[in-house]
Structure 1
């Protein structure tokens, strides 16, 4: 079994996560898409969370993450979405107004990886990314 370890713990906690911009706006393209990708990588690295696979599509983000058990998944998602929104507004102030500083929608989808293989999740995320590229070229 492939697993990671903390000082007294062996673990393999992997999650498939999907979240969207507020009102499912199609704003994740061009420079914003590249910046979101880098911001998410940086924030995950700060917490020691491994990005197994990821795709930033025009109106949603897919991530396959390995989150250490010392973090509550909902708290990590609050951190990820909250900090990334602030960092996005720093780089792209035109994305928010003076009164409304929310970039991401409140909810998210999460599933543990267990009933299906990691390879199936990776393949699904890659297919989503290919579909997004096709939509961008239209």
Structure 2
């Protein structure tokens, strides 16, 4: 885990995020995946975040996993809203004919999303570390 400086603080906020296509339609092809990766990387940069990894499940073609290093002053919900809104609009515009059989309304992503914070140590290790503060090792 690498710590980055942010003004008067030092830290690392890494989040694993999952977006699912509306109705779980299998519409994330390798071409759509590449376009999503490009867009999401640029959008993360505009929010002072770094897209570390972005990969679709090309078996089911209905969801994508992101690993994002977030700045401490950016809310996860705001970042997700930006990513989903803009990528949905652009993908629907660029792949209009391909998506026509799947979506008749202006949608691409399912409303919700999944997320898990990630870091270098397991929760058990962190709990033990905190519990043992003030005691000699």
TM-score, length basis structure 2: 0.75
Matches within 5 A, 1:42-121: 42-57=42-57, 58-94=61-97, 95=99, 100-114=105-119, 116=122
Structure 2: gaps (5+ residues): 124-137
Aligned-pair RMSD on alpha carbons? 2.3
> Any idea what SS the aligned residue of 1:63 has?
strand
Distance 1:116 1:91, change over 3 A: farther
Q: Report how far residue 84 of structure 1 moved.
A: 0.8
Which of the two has greater helix per residue?
1
- 1:31-73: CA deviations, max 9, x gaps? 2222122111221122221122221221110111111111110
TM-score, length basis structure 1: 0.74
Q: Report how far residue 83 of structure 1 moved.
A: 0.9
Tell me the number of residue pairs that the alignment of Structure 1 and Structure 2 aligns: 117
Distance 1:17 1:102, change over 3 A: same
> Any idea what SS the aligned residue of 2:41 has?
helix
Larger Rg: 2
Structure 1: gaps (5+ residues): 118-138
